[in-house]
Every structure is written in structure tokens, then in C-alpha cells.
Amino acid sequence: MNVVHVLNGPNLNLLGTREPGTYGTLTLADIEARLAARCQAGGISLLFRQSNHEGDLVTWIQEAGAAGEPVILNAGAYTHTSIALRDAIAGSGAKVIEVHLSNVHAREDFRHRSTISAVAAGVILGFGALSYDLALEALIAQSKKTKS
Ligand code: DQA
């Protein structure tokens, strides 16, 4: 694996101050810095992006799929509503690991449904910022397995 895309959806730019009891106090820049350090150690290029707009996420997923590069995706609330994101994953063939900071299954009913999970390679949730790190480790481990 040479490149990994980490895509973040709406309101994740507010991490650090947004409902810290649910999402913790790390900022998105803190999460990016941790992933960047791990990627640098592994010789992987990190493309870390955030948007509050569904279409941006669709475009970035399509780009990753076309390039054959894996995606770690926290789609935020679009997880629960977006058929467009589901179709972008299925249609582009992007390998996506869905992540969430919070355990969405322990929260409101409307967060129990994901349009993405069925087309994701895996789902990691409930570990705070560590969910992202675990997803990256999973991709690294799988790419090593593919090589051997
Ligand atoms: C989230 C969970 C979603 O339900 C919520 O809308 C978010 C963040 C998480 O990381 O826990 O914005 O994806």
C-alpha cells in the first residue's frame, strides 16, 4: 500500500470542542498528525481530507477507487442517510474501512443504520480516535499479507 485516503464528513472539523463527552477532546488535526506519523514510518502517503459536503466525499471516494487506493471513511451523519456515498463505494470499487469515534449502536436509533457498512471492507467503531489508528493498522496488515 503506497497511499491511503482518510476522508472525514460533516462536523468532524469541529472535533476537540464538539460534544467532547461523546467524541473526545482530540482535534481532527491531532488525529491527522498521529496517522501521518504512522504512515511516514511505513513509507505510505497520507491524503487526509474533511468536507461538510456530501458531493466532495463522493468525488474523493471515486478518485480513490479509480486509483485502486484504500479509504478510511468517517462519513459522520451521512453514514446514516447517504445512498450517494454507498453508490460511490460500490460503483468505484474503492476499498473502504468505515470508522466512527463513538459506538453508534449504543446511541440513538437513527445512528444504528449505516448505508455504507454493506459495501465496506470492514467497520471499526467506538474507540475514539483509536478507531482511525486501528483501521490504518488493518490496511497495513492486509497489504503485507497480499504481498507475501
Ligand atoms: C460519527 C457518528 C455519527 O453518528 C455522527 O453523526 C458523527 C460522528 C462518529 O465518528 O462517531 O458525526 O461518525
Domains (range + CATH), the chain: 3-147 (3.40.50.9100)
Per-residue pLDDT tens digits of the chain, which is 148 residues long:
999 999 999 999 999 999 999 999 999 999 999 999 999 999 999 999 999 999 999 999 999 999 999 999 999 999 999 999 999 999 999 999 999 999 999 999 999 999 999 999 999 999 999 999 999 999 999 998 876 5
C-alpha 13 to ligand 1 mean position (Å)? 12
Q: Alpha-carbon distance 69 to 17, whole Å?
A: 31
Hey, which of 8, 102, 111, 127 would you mutate to test ligand 1's pocket, going by the most ligand atoms within 8 Å of its Cβ? 102
Alpha carbon dihedral 69, 138, 106, 32, in 10-degree steps, equals -60
Ligand 1 site residues (CB inside 6 A) read 11, 74, 76-77, 79, 100-102, 104, 111
Alpha helical stretches, state H, 16-121: 20-23, 28-42, 54-67, 83-92
Q: Alpha-carbon distance 66 to 95, whole Å?
A: 11
- pTM of this structure: 0.97
Q: Alpha-carbon distance 44 to 127, whole Å?
A: 23
Q: Could you identify the atom of ligand 1 that is nearest to the CA of residue 9?
A: 12
Q: Alpha-carbon distance 81 to 16, whole Å?
A: 24
Look up residue 136 and give its DSSP letter: H
